Amino acid sequence: MKKLLILFFLVAASSCSVNKTIVTPKHSINFSPKLNIINNRNIGVAIAYKEDAYEQNAIQMTKKIKHQLNEQTKIIDIGEVFINNYNLEKYLLFNNPNDLSIGIAINKDDKTAYLYTNTTYGDGIYSNDFNFIYGELKFIAPKEKIEYIETKSPVKDKKYFKQEFIYNGRIGNSLKFIYREYLNDYARPAFSQDLQYDLSESNIIGFKDLRIEIFEVTNTQIKYKVLSSF
């Protein structure tokens, strides 16, 4: 009988342990917007960019979440991004790099989303307000449904390089632009350049390999399409 009890507890203990796997970032090169599509942009906004980076799957909140954990109120605002750094067998785990005390777990099968914290006292917030424990994590279903959109997030401590071309207004028949480069998410002043083009010469402008056809411009907006990218 004692042997059976010991075996039971060993099986139960092992069933509570889960393997947490690390999600490896993937390398990607993205360009926006698509070629030969007419676009409208406001002044001060990049009308074209190219991003060479490692990126991970992420989710961006579309609804504010407020939840009480013991004596602390956790607020997740609209627009906050949670990155998929780890996975469990049945769940995708997303965390906010700026606040590791609480994350979001998404069921791989039915896409149900939970808040989660660590069950150990020494790892952030501890609360008795939970729905179930999965391995070493407490899963909490908030009173309101977690709403989000799927997105990608660049890993900016790895290789990261971005070029952007920004509309900066017009003076008479001349259009002003700013070209910028970013390395590991830091603007490179030596690679930032003010540019000006005369529309009376041509409605096609270019810088490096970028070529843009201009259709309409005002002091606040530009209508254009990209013919070739950086």
For the CA atoms of the chain, what is the radius of gyration?
25
The Cα-based distances of 172 to 83, 199, 221 in angstroms read 46, 9, 14
In residues, how long is the chain?
A: 230
CA 142-146-151 angle, to 5 degrees, is: 150
- Judge whether residue 227 has pLDDT over 90: yes
- Judge whether residue 9 has pLDDT over 70: no
DSSP state of 71: T
Are the CB atoms for 48 and 229 separated by under 8 Å?
yes
Q: Could you tell me what percent of the chain has a pLDDT over 90? A: 51
**Side chain identity at 153, as an amino acid letter?**
S
Cα distance between residue 177 and residue 165, in whole Å? 7
pLDDT of residue 131: 60
In this prediction, residues 74-95 reach a mean pLDDT of 91
Q: Is the model more confident about 202 or about 139? A: 202
In this prediction, residues 61-67 reach a mean pLDDT of 87
Q: What are the residues facing 167 on neighbouring strands?
A: 177
In this prediction, residues 78-95 reach a mean pLDDT of 92
Both tokens of 91, joined, read 């769940």
Are the CB atoms for 212 and 199 separated by under 8 Å?
no
Cα distance between residue 126 and residue 72, in whole Å? 10
pLDDT of residue 202: 95
4 pLDDT tier (thresholds 50, 70, 90): very low
- Judge whether residue 209 has pLDDT over 90: yes
Q: Could you tell me what percent of the chain has a pLDDT over 70? A: 79
71-75, 121-125, 221-225: range with highest mean pLDDT = 221-225
- Judge whether residue 122 has pLDDT over 50: no
Are the CB atoms for 225 and 210 separated by under 8 Å?
no
Both tokens of 118, joined, read 């660590």
Q: What are the residues facing 207 on neighbouring strands?
A: 210
- Judge whether residue 208 has pLDDT over 60: yes
For residue 28, give the H/E element and its range: strand 26-32
35-39, 96-100, 112-116, 150-154: range with highest mean pLDDT = 35-39
- Judge whether residue 43 has pLDDT over 80: yes
Q: Which residue has 């914290």 as its token pair? A: 117
Q: What are the residues facing 105 on neighbouring strands?
A: 93, 114
DSSP state of 90: S
pLDDT of residue 18: 60
Note the pTM of the prediction, 2 decimals: 0.62
In this prediction, residues 84-111 reach a mean pLDDT of 89
Q: What is the pLDDT of residues 145-192, one digit of tens each?
A: 899 999 998 886 678 889 999 999 999 999 999 999 988 766 565 588
